[in-house]
A and B are shown apart, each in its own frame.
Chain A
Amino acid sequence: DGGITQSPKYLFRKEGQNVTLSCEQNLNHDAMYWYRQDPGQGLRLIYYSQIVNDFQKGDIAEGYSVSREKKESFPLTVTSAQKNPTAFYLCASAAGQGYADTQYFGPGTRLTVL
């Protein structure tokens, strides 16, 4: 049963804490992406990775960090430097860098800062 999984579904963070969101895919995709969605807005790109051990900043990378040590995993850490982290976080993957490669999305993690 192939797909993208994200955990946890809901996450609560206290001020000043770092938290890590998990994203795993078993689609054998090379490319993986992290997006942030705020109410009434479209998705904004945080980080993306096109190959293992390599990743690039997206439009809103400040306060976030990622790693890509395995092809199937692309965890996102929300650091205490992120001023307004409450949002819905979506992970996606695509077969490659081709422009016809559809991005497939996970179910999302809703992060709330208490």
Chain B
Amino acid sequence: KQEVTQIPAALSVPEGENLVLNCSFTDSAIYNLQWFRQDPGKGLTSLLLIQSSQREQTSGRLNASLDKSSGRSTLYIAASQPGDSATYLCAVIAGYGNKLVFGAGTILRVKS
């Protein structure tokens, strides 16, 4: 059974720092991996989707990498801002039906 783990569970950094969020998954036979952002009490917003044949994706200050063989992905946030404060969720698709398996998330707080 696919399991997704995110480390750290929570992170507090001063504004302007570059930071890395980690995601690991137990079964390397995935089709894609997605990073989402969730603000308190809100739904999820898709940030980046990496297909299994890709190694990384970039969007603005965000860069996500994927290493299928080691079962790991990282989300790199450059020059963090207070508006980046949110929960970041990692999810993988590993089988039929486009079903997502989620990690528990990393709660990020960027202090001004």
Considering the complex, which residues of chain B in the window 45-77 have a beta carbon less than 8 Å from any beta carbon of chain A?
45-46, 49, 51-52
Taking the closest CB of chain B, its distance from the CB of A15, in whole angstroms, is 25
CB atoms of B41 and A108 under 8 A apart: yes
Binds A, one of B12-20, B78-86, B102-110: B102-110
- Bound Cα distance A42, B103 (Å): 5
A residues sitting closer than 8 Å to B (CB atoms) are 4, 6, 31, 33, 35, 40-45, 48, 50, 56, 58, 88, 90, 92, 94, 96-108, 110
A-B contacts, 14 listed (Cβ < 8 Å): A31-B98, A40-B9, A42-B101, A42-B104, A43-B100, A44-B102, A45-B99, A48-B97, A58-B99, A90-B44, A96-B98, A105-B36, A105-B45, A107-B42
